[in-house]
Homo-oligomer: A and B are copies of this chain.
Amino acid sequence: MMRTIWISRCLLLLLLSMAVTSSALAQTTDTLPSWNEGAAKQSILNFVAAVTHERSPDFVPAPQRVATFDNDGTLWPERPIYVQLAFALDRVKALAPQHPEWRDRQPFKAALDGDMKTLARAGEHGMLELVMASHAGMTTDEFARIVKDWLATARHPKFNRPYTELVYQPMIELLAYLRANGFKTFIVSGGGVEFMRPWSEQVYGVPPEQVVGSSIKTKFQMRGGIPVLFRLPEINFIDDKAGKPVGINEYIGRRPIAAFGNSDGDLEMLQWTTKASGRRFGLIVHHTDAEREYAYDRRSSFGRLDKALDAAAVNSWTVVNMKTDWKRIFKFQ
């Protein structure tokens, strides 16, 4: 009897160890299933093999395997408008009853009327006004709640689905594949850091402390013995273009060995990442699929890809053709 128990216990242990082995094998087989075979996928696999195999001349120790990802247009759509702008417009509508003066004041009037032409003409300054009016004036905890509540109900106008279902499945697989190979994955986005952090862990597997983004200033206050951080209508940091390497250095403090973007806003991040000693990897997502998503590049006002596309050719960065390189774009497709 004793012996039977002993052996069945052994059997259990062996089965467990076999299960671990076969799941590791399965993982290898299923690497990046939403990517079509081709040069783009192969360049990723080659790079990861080169920096992770201990005998490779390009081996990089795990703690230095830092990979940075842009968000808008790289991990989820930025068309017809940035998701965060859709959020700001909805917030302005929700707050309008407390601001009767907005009915006659631009860019608020345009926001309330859904007049995108006038909004576009309001330019960066106008956008900033909308962001300040909709993103400041509450505590950080309150803002996180507002973001979560909005994401739970808001729908993308083309796909009629929650934005969090519109993350690019091939990129989700890529994030997980890099992490499985000892990489630490960071988001480095021009978007607001406190707009992304409430959901980045659940949706991307990227915890809040690995999200770098633009921010407004906050102020520490004691309110009846309770500490709060109050969001002020003042820009703190813009994490875009030349701001991306600055933000990477300030918030991460390590130089990435791989960077992933989709627009000219990512050019300096890609340069900072790849133009250094040792094996490096740069990748640009090129929006070429008007049917399954959107097609735009050099002449787009949102997510323009012009200089960075030229730089990709010069620097041998991988350019992903969404139409041909991705089997599917979204999980539901």
Identity of the chain B residue whose Cβ is nearest the Cβ of A231 in the assembled complex:
B249
A253 proximity list for chain B (CB < 8 A): 193-194, 197, 208-209, 211
Q: Is there an interface contact between B209 and A236, defined as CB atoms closer than 8 Å?
A: no
Which of B227, B250, B268 meets A245, CB within 8 Å?
A: B227
The answer, yes or no, to whether A169 is at the interface (CB within 8 Å) is: no
The answer, yes or no, to whether A218 is at the interface (CB within 8 Å) is: yes
Q: Is there an interface contact between A17 and B13, defined as CB atoms closer than 8 Å?
A: yes
In the docked arrangement, what's the CA distance between A215 and B225, Å? 30
Q: Give the number of residues in A that approach B within 8 Å (Cβ atoms).
A: 46
A10 proximity list for chain B (CB < 8 A): 6-7, 9-10, 13-14
Identity of the chain B residue whose Cβ is nearest the Cβ of A272 in the assembled complex:
B227
The answer, yes or no, to whether A150 is at the interface (CB within 8 Å) is: no
The answer, yes or no, to whether A251 is at the interface (CB within 8 Å) is: yes
Which of B197, B209, B219, B275 meets A227, CB within 8 Å?
A: B275
Which of B13, B210, B218, B249 meets A140, CB within 8 Å?
A: B249
Copies in the complex: 2
Q: Which of A168-214 contact B (CB under 8 A)?
A: 184, 186, 193-194, 197, 201, 207-211
The answer, yes or no, to whether A313 is at the interface (CB within 8 Å) is: no
A211 proximity list for chain B (CB < 8 A): 253
Q: 1/0 contact trace for A1-45 toward B, CB 8 Å? A: 000001101100110010000000000000000000000000000
Identity of the chain B residue whose Cβ is nearest the Cβ of A196 in the assembled complex:
B253
The answer, yes or no, to whether A312 is at the interface (CB within 8 Å) is: no
Min C-beta distance of A191 to chain B, whole Å: 14
In the docked arrangement, what's the CA distance between A208 and B193, Å? 20
Q: Is there an interface contact between A272 and B220, defined as CB atoms closer than 8 Å?
A: yes
A272 proximity list for chain B (CB < 8 A): 220, 227, 229
Min C-beta distance of A18 to chain B, whole Å: 11
Q: Is there an interface contact between A220 and B254, defined as CB atoms closer than 8 Å?
A: no
Known: A14-B9, A268-B227. A220 touches B208 (CB 8 A): no
In the docked arrangement, what's the CA distance between A220 and B13, Å? 54
Min C-beta distance of A136 to chain B, whole Å: 14
> Which A residues contact B (CB, under 8 angstroms)?
6-7, 9-10, 13-14, 17, 63, 66, 140, 184, 186, 193-194, 197, 201, 207-211, 215, 218-220, 222, 225-227, 229, 236, 242-243, 245-246, 249-254, 268, 271-272, 275-276
9 CB-based A-B contacts, threshold 8 Å:
A9-B10, A10-B10, A66-B209, A193-B250, A208-B253, A218-B246, A220-B246, A220-B268, A220-B272
Known: A220-B245, A220-B246, A227-B271; 19 extra A-B contacts, CB below 8 A, are: A7-B7, A10-B10, A10-B14, A13-B13, A13-B14, A66-B209, A140-B249, A184-B209, A207-B254, A208-B253, A211-B253, A218-B246, A218-B249, A220-B243, A220-B268, A229-B246, A229-B249, A229-B272, A251-B251
